[in-house]
Structure 1
């Protein structure tokens, strides 16, 4: 089949329409070979719309045809409708816009789906909200049961601080409380007592972290930095069965489909999560394609790390399958910007928000240079994409250095697409070095929206010049993908972090943090075409699948979505509110709104 799409390059993007479409189809080939017409008819045709192909030319067509799970034609209505037969499902788009199925480059689906299994967790924007939740849980739990809150980041509270040990004591004196934000936490007095953390306690396990103390008494003040592992919690929620986990995961994938997602990357997969994905796949309940980066604990010794990498490489899921593919390795290189532990090239600065008192403090890096190099090289040697959680510019530079060293060892990393996860704080130098080696990156636009105000207060405008520098990365030719780092709750906008990709696209266009006026370095904003590529073909490239999906071209998987508004012409502020009318996965309808 040959399809020719032409356009006038001088026409503006928002008014591009298909000018000519010549379709020589497999149908005609079958006629010439003596096969019946019906054998090559399309199963599904969407016509009368604006099909944004996201091909190399960003061409726009009127119609698209699908047979099986693949696209067989894209072009003008008349040409594509010629493929219709008696059994073809024809959908009149009535002028609506079609995009390739969207891809999220970073989720933690199996954990996120179970977050509210025991009970709903309200949104929390203030310390008062946190304390009210703790008090409400204390009223329904037996005395002595743990109250645990995860990932309510202090940078996302209007108060911009942790709840104190004593505030938690007041609302839950008879319950141990853990307020956890990744590796950092705030706990109350009973939690400290049960964990054996007192005035004389010292960290002796050789792992990172420190315990904040009252400067006058030396007593722990309840804030634990990068050592939440020291808290000895016990379970207090009802136990989930395997069927519960499958049902919740299926429900989450249905919501991913609702916001236009047809593929996701699990950036921290375990044996248990892979088993859940496989079970859904076997039962034909898997409605998102899943790329897995296998979680590897970089704090283990090298022998254990290499065994785990080899386990991933020898897994049957390492063989390509467009529904479930184990193709990556994920480690943690530094802390987080939400917890004040991202590893920076320059000191963080004394901070009340982050409880930083040392003017030379630069954050935490977890993997020494030599060990990082060896882990990354071993993963690449085993045909596994390596990525590392790298938030601060110090960590980003350290990871690039490791990839460069591997490349100098007569082991070309070009084409192997080593990745940087998060990659929030960058530099012009880092971008140039990434481009040279085809290093890719997985970024989360929602963090700019959610945390921009706090970061501006902490670092000032100049230090944020290369915070999520989308335009600089695109212009340099570095391939980056958009993701969410979805960790808790089901719901595209209510989740931690929000996974609605249209919200993500809007953030890259407007760069407007919440709770503040104006934009954060608007010169780093994207065009609409670039924003769409961020969640389609770019993410397909991140997972080595740009020839399979990410654009609407003949031969590719028929993953596509129909929008309620035209993303190319709607006012910028309305991009975030676009909804998806239909979602197709391999030509199969997996989401449709009620008419």
Structure 2
């Protein structure tokens, strides 16, 4: 007897099979696509217990694969009380008073930032006074509790980032008029007598205030990070995301939290992880790669739901940040990864070690492709980094000759279009036309045949916003198109956001298309992304999401 479908889904189906094929229905059996075709043909595959879901008017696409997700980071943002909607210092004080009534005396009150989530752009301007509350105003709201209003991560929106605390919190952290931050980009604001006001400004993207000056502020616990992941997983599913790839690296505790969810059977997001290591020297790195990381060689360890493979190695960075971080490598703050800083020379030495010990290497390139590409060329003379699927991530600025090198090396790439084209596009507005075209070069990489994926970077975590950014390339503050020659056709963008991430984890034959044999990972969208006007792409919503034939959002 031929195999019968467990489920049949009816609707407009974009198979992404390479031929531009559409279908009217998908048949699913044992968590995989059984077949796609006409409504009648798929309904003929029904058995006595087949469930039929009618999504007429909706479009079914392969589930999104967020190739730079930072899902655990979004999870931590769900754990602190919100100040969203507060529009004056008095309203912030009211929120703090409410929290004080339910918090035991002497215990910390730690809140989310002032401003409008998820970006918190120009947070002080969102309050009527144009500033955050100072220590005295927070004392009035909660005199018997240490209070700390967190700053957002610098990469959520953009610096400067503002935070505030009351007198008891300053006292517990030993902050006085004589305190001097180690990071010159951190400002302790003071009154006319030179006393701390309880307000802080961080002018760089990397937050160092807590690691540098605030040891008494409560850190996220392992249990909190695990429970935050659980909450964030649902949020990502609501966007149609079925797989994530954490190529920026994750600290050991974060990997352990995902592993616990996986072992319990609670992990509904296909999760591919990369280790963010805590070594302090090249010697430490060599020992770790040799003695402790063999299970992460090649494709790593795990299964189709959870896999750990390879190591993240940073290029560049601020030495001041490194010195602060070295004091306490366990401190992660919002990030979930270990902050690394490596000179180009040390970066190359670490890459050589990764090649020697058969570890996949992942690195953030940003605007330094001109420095990273020659290093990769030298490493590739000794090791088959293309076959091992090394990954150059977060590429922003690029040039044709550098992209040709990437193609020749055979390495994979990831892009964050919403980051560099929309959110942080301002520094690139001075570029000439060709330079602008090669900013976040999705179109060029795809057409060259370079494996390219895209991620949301968690701000916003909606892959359809990422798709819109690739297609329209509009900068946030001016609305300017950041390079007409870099615009990506909607179908290409959709492939980059579905199939691209699968290649990073050796799963291109397992997911990313709605064809027989692939995982039944499906996003049900409110409109057809290949038919709507470009500016309408970010308004598309996800009505239901399926992973391995199981509904994880909607259509239960």
The answer to whether structure 1 residue 280 and structure 2 residue 244 are counterparts is no
TM-score (norm 1): 0.72
> In structure 2, what is the Cα distance between the partners aligned to 1:390 and 1:433?
14
The residue correspondences of 1:368-517 to structure 2 (distance < 5 A) are 368-391=343-366, 393=367, 395-409=368-382, 411-448=383-420, 450-452=422-424, 454-456=426-428, 464-486=436-458, 497-517=459-479
Partner of 2:325: none
Q: Deviations over 1:236-292 (max 9, x none)?
A: 58x8683x6544422321221111111011232233222322232233321110000
Q: 1:517 to 1:241 in 2, by over 3 A?
A: closer
3-state secondary structure, aligned to 2:61: strand
Deviation at 1:561, TM superposition (A): 2.0
Deviation at 1:51, TM superposition (A): 1.9
> In structure 1, what is the Cα distance between the partners aligned to 2:112 and 2:434?
34
Partner of 1:586: 548
Q: Is the 8 A contact 2:426 2:475 kept in 1?
A: no
Alignment equivalent of 1:59, drawn from 5, 12, 21: 21
Deviation at 1:539, TM superposition (A): 1.1
Q: Is the 8 A contact 2:62 2:498 kept in 1?
A: yes
Q: 1:73 to 1:138 in 2, by over 3 A?
A: closer
Q: 1:135 to 1:456 in 2, by over 3 A?
A: farther
Deviation at 1:406, TM superposition (A): 0.8
The residue correspondences of 1:332-343 to structure 2 (distance < 5 A) are 332-335=314-317
Aligned residues: 504
Q: 1:246 to 1:178 in 2, by over 3 A?
A: closer
Q: Is the 8 A contact 2:176 2:195 kept in 1?
A: no
Deviation at 1:435, TM superposition (A): 1.0
Partner of 1:157: 121
Alignment equivalent of 1:253, drawn from 221, 225, 233: 233
Q: Deviations over 1:146-191 (max 9, x none)?
A: 867679899973589999x996647757667763644986667989
Q: 1:222 to 1:168 in 2, by over 3 A?
A: farther
Deviation at 1:324, TM superposition (A): 0.3
> In structure 1, what is the Cα distance between the partners aligned to 2:24 and 2:363?
41
> In structure 2, what is the Cα distance between the partners aligned to 1:176 and 1:287?
34
The residue correspondences of 1:12-161 to structure 2 (distance < 5 A) are 36-37=1-2, 40-47=3-10, 49-94=11-56, 96-122=58-84, 157-158=121-122
Deviation at 1:529, TM superposition (A): 0.7
Structure 1 residues without counterparts, runs of 5 or longer:
1-35, 342-363, 487-496
> In structure 1, what is the Cα distance between the partners aligned to 2:284 and 2:91?
41
> In structure 1, what is the Cα distance between the partners aligned to 2:373 and 2:113?
31
Q: 1:383 to 1:63 in 2, by over 3 A?
A: farther
Q: Is the 8 A contact 1:396 1:426 kept in 2?
A: yes
3-state secondary structure, aligned to 1:71: strand
3-state secondary structure, aligned to 1:373: helix
Deviation at 1:231, TM superposition (A): 2.0
> In structure 2, what is the Cα distance between the partners aligned to 1:465 and 1:73?
40
The answer to whether structure 1 residue 524 and structure 2 residue 486 are counterparts is yes
State which drifts further: 138-147 or 93-102. Answer: 138-147
Q: Is the 8 A contact 1:166 1:188 kept in 2?
A: no
Structure 2 residues without counterparts, runs of 5 or longer:
140-146, 322-338
Deviation at 1:408, TM superposition (A): 1.4
Q: Deviations over 1:128-151 (max 9, x none)?
A: 88x788766765567996867679
3-state secondary structure, aligned to 1:88: strand
3-state secondary structure, aligned to 1:273: helix
Alignment equivalent of 2:273, drawn from 292, 295, 299: 292
3-state secondary structure, aligned to 1:287: coil
Q: Is the 8 A contact 1:154 1:160 kept in 2?
A: no
Partner of 1:491: none
3-state secondary structure, aligned to 1:91: strand
Aligned-pair Cα RMSD in Å: 4.2
Q: Is the 8 A contact 2:114 2:149 kept in 1?
A: no
Q: Is the 8 A contact 1:187 1:222 kept in 2?
A: yes
State which drifts further: 509-518 or 532-541. Answer: 509-518
